[in-house]
Structure 1
Amino acid sequence: MSNAEKEVLIVGGGIGGVAAALAAAEAGHKTKILEQAPQFGEIGAGIQMGPNAMAVLDRFGVADEISKHAVFPKRLVLKDVYTAKELTALDLGEEFKEKYGFPYIVLHRSDLHRVLVEAAEKNPLISLVNDQIIETVEQNEASVTVTNQRNEKFTGKAVIGADGLWSKTRKYFADDEAICSHYVAYRGTVPIEEISSDASMDDVIMWIGPNLHVVQYPVRKGELYNQVVVFKSNNYKEDSDDWGTPEEMDEVFKGCHPLVENALSFIQRQIRWPMYDREPISNWTKGNFALLGDAAHPMLQYLAQGGCQALEDASCLADMIKVHGENFEKAFQAYQEERMPRTEKVQKSARIWGEIIHAEDPVSILLRNSLLEQTKAKDFEMIDWLYGYKNKVAEKVSN
């Protein structure tokens, strides 16, 4: 089999993995997605897609279909979790869309993932295979080979590790561990008719307080209301599930505003999500093997950029593969050089933003609130680095 006939192998069939397959296919390569689950699907609840992510979804031809399932919020709002005072808001209206080229949307993760998978299934260059726990990756001058849990082997011309926070492919680049922030999240969606009439269906709301926050927004075209409750556990125990319990959540949120108390009453309590990230690493690629998305740069959720950065990765990958053709080593190196400074900044900024919104001492809270209250709804300067990135990528590739 000639190199041109071999496939690009994608380890992981989440948002990043499927986007990577669409990227490789766009560049003309046959691609196989190897997903460990018995069927393709996403767990979780809502996801936020900034215009930087929408640009990629548009590029891959799925933005219109995704929009059918999305809600287009008018504002991002920060509120005090105890007083319900609005601290600041970001206007997501026409000026925002004009500046960044695309809207800000919120939707159910499973809706986003399903649309991406359907696009992959329709693409004649992409095949999808389930029940594949990839244990090893090997490469030589001619090919790469991955081996699954049954010792079955797949051989291709390149491999992209997109297997998430708990990535097995990352071990080839870093001997590191995921870092627990001592925060946990509880998520859930509820029918919209169950929600108080006080809730704004036009806003993404983040209620903030010392070591805790709650995020709320509608999904499924306004049929469901997505809620995420996050708090820092004082009972953290390494290698244990006996911390960050629903009982601790109730205790931590005592005294919060009645609208927040009401939100907690609808939260799913069966699944708790400990919040992890990892330190940035100095290399994601070797030969015809590279990492993408959370496997390369897992980040905390405070900027709502985990999925967005995986999509940016995929778009950049498509550009670099087009430039370098069958030379995946050069394409992956160029992709890493472009993406690494960007994702490291987002990773570190997510941590900092988490510290800001969760500030504990009164002086820090006063200073934060004073600065937030002075920020105008159409002041895009602070977010320009985040949402204006796509144009810079396009410029670098075209030059």
Structure 2
Amino acid sequence: MGATIGMDIVVVGGGIGGLAAALSAARAGHRATVLERAPSFQELGAGIQLAPNAFHALDALGVGVEVRRRAVFTEELRLMDGVSGDVAVSLPLTGAYRKRFGNPYAVVHRGDLFQPLLQACRQHPGVDLLADHAVVGYEQDADGVRAVLADGRQVAGDLLIGADGIRSAVRGQLVGDGPPRVSGHTIYRCVVPMGEVPEDLRANRVTLWAGPKWHFVHYPIARGELLNLAATVDDGASRAVVGDPVPTDRVRNLFHRLPPVARRLLHLGRDWRTWVLCDRGRLDRWVDGRVALLGDAAHPMLQYAAQGACMALEDAVVLGRVLGEHAAEVTTTLERYNDVRRERAAFAQHVSTEIGTQLYHVAGEEARQRNEMLRALSPSDLLDRVAPLHGSRGFGLPAATRPVDLADAGH
């Protein structure tokens, strides 16, 4: 079956990546059906960071204005030495940053990114949203592809996009690489009403306190009405945990060595929940005939570069772009999508891992050298370091991009 206008595209997963993929395909002239396993379409979680590349993608999807309306435009990324309490490096996010990258850096509640995508899908005549449709696999032949549901039903289309997250059932069949890799890093998250935050602790920036095998980050979200807190420790955790509640005292005791200002912020937190972070290694091929992966199903990464959602949005835009090229065959279209995204996604995965091991969690002499290296960078140098990720508009990786090292890690 040729890839012509009016293809039926089945999208597995109704999260940020899945909705973006459906919207992108529909805007390219196709019909998309989103299958979500949960009883309703909703996004859980708290804060998320959006670099300029995310806004370029959101604009291409037609929802950039609405996300901007809900966002907090941060003025600075600041890395603190969590032992001494000194500033290690500061990257201003106004002026030269916005001029160079053509968009702001913002922080939002995950729902403030999810809801504009959901609303746009609901309003588009080419998108159907089906909740309570758990996909366990797929079948395909020369005539099409079918998502196989847990209850035995099937949903047919011309191609299928697996956007069903890090534990993707579609990836399980396409790649067969088992469960995700447990990183050994445990994160504790909560949000605090901004009215409970003392005036002297409020700031319109993303601040990260880096210590030996741990870090603590905080920033405003939800139009500035909430403060997002996230504390991470490299504790060698070996079992995946997803959103379990934890006692407040446990979090305070784990991070009792924070400098006074950071400790005051941490002590505002309550109703903490914990996750053990997971990822997967690089995957060069995430296409199988009429089936392709997207977002965390294709290239899950640790949170440290704040690019996971950004990469999913980029995937969606590139997918819509190649679907709009009217390739002669479905498989050719998906191969092109894979070719464009492969290296850039792998680069983002690599940077995310390296930041945790080489920038945030170092100690002693390594921490001192990190601080010296970062403080020696000029404002222009800092922009150069983040440009490969933050500055992309085409969403492919330039051939000249070199492997990341400490100087590249930046933020």
* TM more than 0.5: yes
User: 2:53 touches 2:392 (CA, 8 Å); kept in 1?
Assistant: yes
Query: 1:207 is matched by which residue type in structure 2?
Result: W
Query: 1:36: which partner in 2?
Result: 37
1:345 aligned onto 2:347: yes
Q: Deviations over 1:37-87 (max 9, x none)?
A: 111111110110111110010111111111111000111110122332111
Alignment of 1:307-322 (within 5 A): 307-322=309-324
Structure 2 residue aligned with 1:383, among 383, 386, 393?
Answer: 386
1:173 aligned onto 2:174: yes
1:293 aligned onto 2:295: yes
Query: 2:330: which partner in 1?
Result: 328
Distance 1:66 1:238, change over 3 A: closer
Alignment of 1:1-399 (within 5 A): 7-176=8-177, 177-234=179-236, 236-238=237-239, 249-325=251-327, 327-379=329-381, 380-391=383-394, 393=396
Query: 1:389 is matched by which residue type in structure 2?
Result: S
Distance 1:31 1:69, change over 3 A: same
Distance 1:211 1:321, change over 3 A: same
Percent same amino acid among aligned pairs?
A: 34
Offset of 1:215 from its aligned partner? Answer: 1.2
Distance 1:366 1:188, change over 3 A: same
* C-alpha distance in structure 2 between counterparts of 1:152 and 1:185, whole Å: 38
* C-alpha distance in structure 2 between counterparts of 1:394 and 1:322, whole Å: 21
Distance 1:165 1:239, change over 3 A: closer
* C-alpha distance in structure 2 between counterparts of 1:395 and 1:366, whole Å: 32
Using the TM superposition, name which of 327-336 and 118-127 deviates more. Answer: 327-336
User: 1:70 touches 1:221 (CA, 8 Å); kept in 2?
Assistant: yes
Offset of 1:202 from its aligned partner? Answer: 1.8
Query: 2:343 is matched by which residue type in structure 1?
Result: P
* C-alpha distance in structure 1 between counterparts of 2:229 and 2:193, whole Å: 11
**TM-score, length of structure 1 as denominator length:** 0.93
Offset of 1:357 from its aligned partner? Answer: 2.9
Number of aligned positions between the proteins: 394
Distance 1:361 1:257, change over 3 A: closer
Query: 2:402: which partner in 1?
Result: none
User: 1:186 touches 1:268 (CA, 8 Å); kept in 2?
Assistant: no
Q: Deviations over 1:199-223 (max 9, x none)?
A: 2422111111111111111112211
Offset of 1:96 from its aligned partner? Answer: 1.1
* C-alpha distance in structure 2 between counterparts of 1:286 and 1:239, whole Å: 28
* C-alpha distance in structure 2 between counterparts of 1:301 and 1:307, whole Å: 10
User: 2:76 touches 2:205 (CA, 8 Å); kept in 1?
Assistant: yes
SS in structure 1 at match of 2:72:
coil
* C-alpha distance in structure 2 between counterparts of 1:326 and 1:125, whole Å: 22
* C-alpha distance in structure 2 between counterparts of 1:17 and 1:391, whole Å: 20
Q: Deviations over 1:131-157 (max 9, x none)?
A: 111012010001101111111110111
What stretches of structure 1 of length at least 5 have no aligned partner?
none
**TM-score, length of structure 2 as denominator length:** 0.90
* C-alpha distance in structure 2 between counterparts of 1:158 and 1:392, whole Å: 22
SS in structure 1 at match of 2:156:
strand
Distance 1:233 1:254, change over 3 A: same
User: 1:324 touches 1:330 (CA, 8 Å); kept in 2?
Assistant: no
Query: 2:222 is matched by which residue type in structure 1?
Result: R
* C-alpha distance in structure 1 between counterparts of 2:151 and 2:286, whole Å: 27
Q: Deviations over 1:148-194 (max 9, x none)?
A: 11111101111000000111111223232311111111112111121
Q: Deviations over 1:202-261 (max 9, x none)?
A: 211111111111111111221111111111225x344689x9965654333122112222
* C-alpha distance in structure 2 between counterparts of 1:191 and 1:244, whole Å: 19
User: 1:190 touches 1:266 (CA, 8 Å); kept in 2?
Assistant: yes
Query: 1:367 is matched by which residue type in structure 2?
Result: Q
User: 2:252 touches 2:267 (CA, 8 Å); kept in 1?
Assistant: no
SS in structure 1 at match of 2:125:
coil
What stretches of structure 2 of length at least 5 have no aligned partner?
400-411
Distance 1:60 1:392, change over 3 A: closer
Q: Deviations over 1:289-325 (max 9, x none)?
A: 1000000000000000000000111111111111134
* C-alpha distance in structure 1 between counterparts of 2:270 and 2:181, whole Å: 25
SS in structure 2 at match of 1:165:
coil
Using the TM superposition, name which of 77-86 and 208-217 deviates more. Answer: 77-86
Q: Deviations over 1:332-387 (max 9, x none)?
A: 10110110111111101110011123334412111101111112344311111112
Distance 1:179 1:395, change over 3 A: closer
Query: 2:115 is matched by which residue type in structure 1?
Result: R
* C-alpha distance in structure 2 between counterparts of 1:71 and 1:371, whole Å: 30
* C-alpha distance in structure 1 between counterparts of 2:300 and 2:175, whole Å: 13
